[in-house]
Amino acid sequence: MKFFSGFALKNDSYLCEKYLIDSEFNVAGLSFGAIKAVEYAINSTSRIDTIQLFSPAFFQEKSEKFKRTQLLYFSKDNALYIDNFLKNCFYPSNVDDKIETFSAKKDDLEKLLKYNFSKEVLDVLNQRGIRIEVYLGSEDKIVDTKIAREFFISNCDIFWLQNVGHFLS
């Protein structure tokens, strides 16, 4: 399995382990990693049976003002930004002491905020016979999961997880 980590995170696959398909033909990603997983799959010539998108970083409905504000807060104090980000990701649970972070780049945050998932790309992946699974938490404070669900529902199998946040805990 190939796993792509979330924004400013490393070794975070354990957050999704109870849902992960243990197969060499599976590609998965959490949050920002979901973007990377889709990009990897669309450009790959390797066999892929399933793509698992855990809490995909879905911000295409957000205003430019929202995105600029996020980038501004990150630029002013990225450590504080990441601390608040993690609190919101783990909600309604507490931040897990096992979570590993690294010094994120503003360019990565900008890519995350400005990325647009494409129905055409999802169609191509479906036509290749790739099953796309999307996992969304009902209490997610990072993305609007109802809007994300409506976007993905025509191309993907949706798993709506009750009483969990962005990190599905």
Residue 166 and residue 138 in contact, taking contact as beta carbons nearer than 8 Å: no
- 2-161, what's its fold? Rossmann fold (3.40.50)
Dump pLDDT digits (tens) for 52-98. Answer: 999 999 999 999 999 999 999 999 999 999 999 999 999 999 998 89
What CA–CA distance (Å, rounded) separates 53 from 136? Answer: 9
Task: Kindly report the length of the chain.
Answer: 169
What are the residue ranges spanned by the domains of the chain?
A: 2-161
Please work out, in degrees rounded to the nearest 5, the angle formed at the alpha carbon of residue 161 by the alpha carbons of 160 and 164: 140
Q: Which amino acid is present at 104?
A: A
Dump pLDDT digits (tens) for 25-54. Answer: 999 999 999 999 999 999 999 999 999 999
Sheet (strand 2-4) strand order: 2-4, 26-30, 50-54, 131-137, 157-161
Pairing of the two strands 26-30 and 100-101:
unpaired
State the pTM of this model.
0.97
- Element (H or E) spanning 34, and its range? helix 32-43
Whether the link from the prior residue into 92 is cis, omega within 30° of 0, is yes
